[in-house]
């Protein structure tokens, strides 16, 4: 006989999982819990339609699920995110909590399994085999949609900065060396475009998760479900979640393969790689102020040193880089989990469920901070941008059509060797007049046609 706390809706199966997996102390993401509550409600109503569950039990199960969807009973989901393969431990936790609360709603004690049974009633026509991959997809979509909105807001911030900095001509850099001029606005618009493209890839990968395994029961056979059960249950689930879910084309593949989850993980990794690159560029452009590029200034959010007075670091961007590294690490674990499936079921799903909700949630939490306290407050150091532009020998590229490549290269080498501006060498050698040089230094002359 197991001792169950008086305030627990769960029972013996959950108790065993708590004892067996005292690992991280982390619990399922709220969207995983909500996914299961929607699923259990949809299945209960579908079973009622088929005459397999009576009106009273169905009503109690639905009411318990609605309470969970309203944010109640979160403390009842006590199974660690690292648990038994396939998510059986968490699934039983869900079944027991809903059964316990449903029994209470019917006027019985929460431990009275004869009133509402976790297996025979709440789990009727279902298995961990089909419900956990369904919850995994649903939760990843729910969190991913929110992340997509946050990425869109960040893209808009970079786009606005691109417009604000559109008139600031500066030296471009390739190989970290001076290159032909660009505008600071063009660089920021490119940041916006890069993140927008990664967002499109993320959204497409999320849509790939709309195909659900629910109704496949054990091993994708649909065992213990009436014909038409999965179509009706998934239709109800679509209404509850506001998504266009559809039954898996092959119910056995839907249990064996987590390739769609792997695709989404890869899209998250790709976004993290690109976001980290942008963060690196911002840190480079803001480096200094005395010994770095100092072309932009980041808002100061905290002192940068305990020993150097007045030092300011790119603290938010450093944190953003670390989050990007973590998401890349999550993807490595996810790929191993996807490849770790064997025969008729991938049992590594709890790890994927954690990583595919936790990683995006980290970004959901922090991207608004980066946007509001960093990107939106970036200012341009116009003087430094102009200084580098005039100092860079690469501006001679704009004169190449007039003086020829060979002559331009000769002037460039002499400028570098003597440590003087290209302008000085050009005028000394009377290669161009001062008027011609001034005309060549205008934004229209320095920049190409692709604005």
At residue 77, φ and ψ (nearest 5 deg) are -95, 90
| Three-state secondary structure call for residue 380 | strand
Are 156 and 236 in contact by the 8 Å Cβ rule? The answer is no
- Report CA dihedral (139, 141, 142, 145) to the nearest 10 degrees: 150
Q: Which tokens sit at 258? A: 């987590």
d(CA 37, CA 272): 31
Residues in Cβ contact with 419 at an 8 Å cutoff, skipping those fewer than 6 apart: none
Give bridge partners of residue 235 from the DSSP assignment. none
Beta-sheet pairing, 169-174 with 177-183: antiparallel
Q: Reply yes or no: is the peptide bond before residue 289 cis, omega within 30 of 0.
A: yes
How far apart, in whole angstroms, are the C-alpha atoms of residue 167 and residue 186? 9
305 is catalytic: yes
Cα 91 to Cα 113: distance, rounded to the nearest angstrom: 17
Catalytic residue among 24, 109, 305, 339: 305
Q: SS3 of 145, please?
A: helix
How many whole angstroms separate alpha carbon 398 and alpha carbon 447?
8
Residues 6+ apart with CB under 8 A from 409: none
Give the catalytic positions in this structure: 305
């Amino acid at each position: 006989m197991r001792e169950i706390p008086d305030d627990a809706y769960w029972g013996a199966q959950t108790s065993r999982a708590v004892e067996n997996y005292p690992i991280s102390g982390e619990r399922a993401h709220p969207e995983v819990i909500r996914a299961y509550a929607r699923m259990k409600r949809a299945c209960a109503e579908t079973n009622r339609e088929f005459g397999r569950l009576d009106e009273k039990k169905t009503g109690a199960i639905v009411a318990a699920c609605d309470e969970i969807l309203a944010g109640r009973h979160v403390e009842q989901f006590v199974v660690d995110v690292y648990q038994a393969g396939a998510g059986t431990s968490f699934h039983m936790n869900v079944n027991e909590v809903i059964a316990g609360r449903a029994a209470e709603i019917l006027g019985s004690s929460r431990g009275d399994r004869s009133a509402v049974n976790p297996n025979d009633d709440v789990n009727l026509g279902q298995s961990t085999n089909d419900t956990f991959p369904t919850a995994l997809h649903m939760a990843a979509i729910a969190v991913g949609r929110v992340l997509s909105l946050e990425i869109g807001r960040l893209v808009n911030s970079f786009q606005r900065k691109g417009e604000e900095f559109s008139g600031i001509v500066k030296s471009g850099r390739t190989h970290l060396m001076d290159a032909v001029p660009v505008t600071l606005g063009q660089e920021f618009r490119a940041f916006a475009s890069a993140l927008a493209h990664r967002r499109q890839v993320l959204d497409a990968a999320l849509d790939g998760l709309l195909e659900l395994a629910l109704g496949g029961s054990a091993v994708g056979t649909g065992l213990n479900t009436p014909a038409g059960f999965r179509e009706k249950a998934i239709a109800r689930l679509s209404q509850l979640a506001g998504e266009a879910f559809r039954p898996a084309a092959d119910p056995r593949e839907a249990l064996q393969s987590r390739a769609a989850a792997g695709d989404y993980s890869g899209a998250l990794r790709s976004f993290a790689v690109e976001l980290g690159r942008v963060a690196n560029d911002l840190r480079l452009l803001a480096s200094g102020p005395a010994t770095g590029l100092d072309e932009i200034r980041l808002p100061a959010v905290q002192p940068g040193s305990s020993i150097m007075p007045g030092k300011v670091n790119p603290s938010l961007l450093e944190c953003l880089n670390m989050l990007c590294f973590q998401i890349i690490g999550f993807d490595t674990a996810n790929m191993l989990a996807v490849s770790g499936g064997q025969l008729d079921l991938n049992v590594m799903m709890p790890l994927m469920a954690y990583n595919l909700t936790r990683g995006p949630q980290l970004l959901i939490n922090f991207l608004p901070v980066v946007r509001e306290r960093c990107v939106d407050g970036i200012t341009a150091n116009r003087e430094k941008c102009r200084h580098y532009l005039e100092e860079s020998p690469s501006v001679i590229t704009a004169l190449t059509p007039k003086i020829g490549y060979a002559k331009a290269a000769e002037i460039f080498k002499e400028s570098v060797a003597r440590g003087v501006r290209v302008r000085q060498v050009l005028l000394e050698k009377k290669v161009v007049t001062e008027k011609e040089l001034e005309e060549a230094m205008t934004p229209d002359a320095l920049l190409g046609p692709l604005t």
